[in-house]
A and B are shown apart, each in its own frame.
Chain A
Amino acid sequence: MTTFARLLSGAALSATFIATAPALWAETPANMLVVANRIDDITTLDPAENFEFAGGDVLRNVYGRLVNFDPLDYEAGYQPDLAESWEVSEDGRSITFTMREGVTFTSGNPVTAEDAEFSLRRAVLLNLTPSFLLTQFGFTPENIEETIRAEGNMLTVTTDKAYATSFVLNCLTATIGSILDKKTVMAHEVDGDMGHDWLKTHAAGSAAYSLVAWKPNESVTLQANPDFYQGAPAMKRVIVRHITESATQRLLLERGDIDVARNLNPQDVQGLDGAEGVRIHEELKGYLMYASFNQKIPELQDPKVLEALKHLVDYEGMANSFLKGQWTIQQNFLPQTYLGAVRDNPFSLDVGKAKELLAEAGVDGLDLTIGVRDVQERMEIAQSMQNTFAQAGIKLNIEVGTGKQILAKYRARDLDVYLGTWGPDYPDPQTNASTFAYNPDNSEEAQNAGILAWRNSWDADDLTEMTDAAVTERDTAKRVEMYHEIQARFRETSPFAIMFQNIEQDGIRDTVQGFTTGQAIADASYWKVTK
């Protein structure tokens, strides 16, 4: 037998070994939920710091909040969670929460008003990225002892102005409103960091699940909390695996090795059509796709030019072709399902009208550069815009870069045109109004890079005042009207061409019921899932 023949025999034997290996699992166990998702955006699991999507999903299932959403009834709005009720003072500035009795953290410690006080104060004191969600109510490290106070079973928060109650409570449903186990957290305090380093990779919550492990870029494992006050979840273990490739997620789903595939591209969604044991689960999400036009460029300051540009986007063509099923047309800054959202979408591709408007404005032959992140769908949108803009004599140069590269230029007001997405921070209209239609100081020195209007050098006209007025309007019906008016003005005058709202299409095993990604207003929740 020659060496080569011996090697071939070895290879054949190996293949036989693999072929005859015991059959791999055909499906995941009945009490385990396995989700494939891109989780490389998790950089911390401290609720005072986390501000990314995949981390938000984890924390929603691990921490209770004063008020929260019911995963099976988002339309009902915020509901009592660790606070069983609340009262608003006559002047509208104070909300007093009564804590729910008999709830414990996974450590066994009882959940108290003191824990709630600690959690909110801690978020203000640490002053990390999402802290603005609380400090916008006037809470500061200096005044928190008066503005966030626990007394017995009650917690009182006092804001600097009489904001709409819905605004305050909606903000408390966000991740930063998570209630932490003070004793456990402070037992891990190092150098006065209030347990910050420890909480980056650990958890101390009271919700349906406890955190078993977070392996960066690999997986997150959650274990059911048998003492969860709403009842032990049916899924005893939830594993979220980091799978970046859509095709790989699809294969895993079809083989039954995962229950939910969260990052399928349109081709794979189509490919799953009619697949045995799998269905497509759709939810309208809060992310908006938009293009914006830098007001530093004189030609782009003309309202007629802006209107023309909004008529040079092929909304329907894109929504019905390469974006099909994943994005729906939405030309307003409030996503559908939000308080005050409207469905008025007046712009459509009309090259003739755009040419007329450009001629009226005396603009001929613009040369602009659009900054686009290196993501397939965005590059395709930019190419579509390049094509339709060219039909009106506007040359659109596409500059492709990584997310960080393009964002750095956008934040520095260095892009002529930006194409990207925006996701709301909390389920209240103020979240988007305060960034799209609000800019109290448009100067370079202000460096308000967190405000989209500022990034586009747009002073937002009188919309800044209108936005301020809407957020303090306590009559909800009137408040809704105010947002309708702001959005109507915004559509006409703003340098933003809002185009689409995201639809998340997940591949899901037929056996899985009760799974939700949180729609536009929350994060994924697993505790109502059954199989």
Chain B
Amino acid sequence: MSVSGNAQDGRGRAPFPPRWVKRTGMTLGSVAITMLGLLFVTFLIGRVMPLDPVLAIVGERASPEVYQRVYQELGLDRPLLVQFWFYLQDVLRGDFGTSLLTARPVSEDIARVFPATLELATLGTLMGVLLGVPLGVLAAVRRGSWIDQIARVVALVGYSMPIFWLGLMGLLVFYGILGWVGGPGRLSIFYDGMIEPVTGMILIDSALAGDWTVFRDALSHIVLPASLLGYYSLAYISRMTRSFMLEQMSAEYVITARVKGLSERAVIWNHAFRNIRVQLITVIALSYAGLLEGSVLTEIIFAWPGIGSYITNALLSADMSAVLGGTVVVGLAFVLLNVFSDLLYKVFDPRAK
């Protein structure tokens, strides 16, 4: 009895701290540790790379005096850990330093280039999901049929075709020959600067401003690079969806559902598909995160000023403030997507609650 009584007392008392506070605290702690580790490793790589950040500023023809002065100004004469400590303090204040390449605060640069990538990656992922998931499901359900063959070819081409080549061909055909879409860049030059940045994503900003001419121009410029990224995303997502669905379709509960006389549609969507949602979330999140890193080649071909080419240029020019700032943002995007995925797991999978 006493045991039972204690148990009842335990159920009646609210745990301290509350479970949600504990969970949130653990999540935040894990995010902070991940970010700190990421920052330190990137900082370390930046310092041991055979690149000279001083040369990036002063140029190869600078006198030794000028070189030495800038070397000290950058704090490179201090021990590595001290340099990292000072950098960390600045980052915690929201100061990522000034980019050597753009002469602007890194935070300002990131605010300019990340929305460009976000816009492109989001549209690409949407295309990948909206087309890839149904294609994967259909390919699994009609295994061996012509739809399955198409899905395989789509995936194979997506995996094997160099994005650089496909991008150039896309530009040549749809922009150069047919003239269906806008050329490289986010906007035609005539509309450049016409929209005041709010989110930095031109489609949204032009819609907010009610400027549909600019919206259509931006759409005509983004549709090709987004389709290209969407295609690669589609290839991955459809292949994974097919694989997940095949596994579910041969499960006993699906056979049971069919024996019960449920319609094929209900079997597929209400039973089999429901059970692959958690796995799909992981696949889609990974694909989206990959695109958020910035697809450098796509950005180069389409003159898209995104974070991928920003970080790459910075890295090649020893602009370590920019590299670190960019890495932190991309890393943060990864971490937040993971957290978001975890939340979705709990929504879709009762066992995770």
Interface residues of A (CB under 8 A from B): 3-4, 7, 11, 14, 18-19, 21-25, 28-29, 32, 34, 40, 43-44, 51-52, 127-129, 131-132, 200-201, 212-213, 215-219, 221, 239, 241-245, 247-248, 251-252, 254-255, 257, 402-405, 407-408, 411, 425, 447-450
Contacts and interface: CB of A to CB of B under 8 A. Distances in A.
Given A201-B103, A245-B301, A251-B176, A217 B310 contact: yes
- Indicate the size class of the contact surface on chain B: 35 or more
28 contacts: A7-B130, A18-B180, A18-B223, A19-B180, A24-B188, A25-B190, A28-B189, A40-B313, A43-B100, A43-B103, A51-B59, A127-B65, A128-B66, A129-B58, A201-B104, A216-B101, A241-B303, A242-B303, A247-B168, A248-B184, A248-B303, A251-B171, A257-B183, A404-B52, A404-B318, A408-B50, A425-B61, A447-B64
Contacts of A449: 60, 64, 67
Given A221-B193, A247-B168, A407 B55 contact: yes
Interface stretch (B31-39, B131-139, B339-347): B131-139
B216 interface: yes
B61, B104, B175: residue with the most chain A Cβ atoms closer than 10 Å:
B61
B216 A216 contact: no
A43 B101 contact: yes
A407 B60 contact: yes
Contacts of B104: 201, 216
A28 B189 CA distance: 9
Interface of B: 50-52, 55-67, 69, 99-104, 109, 112, 130-131, 134-135, 138, 168, 171-172, 175-176, 179-185, 188-190, 192-193, 216, 219-220, 223, 300-303, 305, 309-310, 313, 316-318
Contacts of A3: 134
A213, A217, A218: residue with the most chain B Cβ atoms closer than 10 Å:
A217
Contact of A241 (B58, B99, B130, B185): B185
B31 to A, nearest CB: 30
Contacts of A405: 50-51
B176 A255 contact: yes
B61 A243 contact: no
Contact of A251 (B175, B188, B310): B175
Contacts, number: 150
A257 B313 CA distance: 26
Nearest to B171: A251
Contacts of A212: 193
Contacts of B184: 243, 248, 251-252
Given A43-B103, A248-B301, A254-B176, A129 B135 contact: no
B179 A255 contact: yes
Contacts of A32: 189
A260 B59 CA distance: 28
Contacts of A215: 112, 305
Given A43-B102, A252-B184, A450 B316 contact: no
A314 to B, nearest CB: 28
A405 B171 CA distance: 34
**Top 8 closest pairs, chain A to chain B, by CB:** A216-B102, A200-B103, A218-B305, A129-B62, A450-B61, A251-B176, A129-B59, A447-B64
A153 to B, nearest CB: 34
Nearest to B49: A405
A14 B69 CA distance: 58
B172 A21 contact: no
Contacts of A404: 51-52, 55-56, 316-318
B305 A217 contact: yes
A14 B302 CA distance: 21
A247 B190 CA distance: 22
B214 to A, nearest CB: 13
B309 A217 contact: yes
A152 to B, nearest CB: 35
Contacts of A40: 101, 313
B42 to A, nearest CB: 18
Contacts of B219: 18
B235 to A, nearest CB: 16
Contacts of B318: 404
Contacts of B168: 245, 247-248
B181 A18 contact: yes
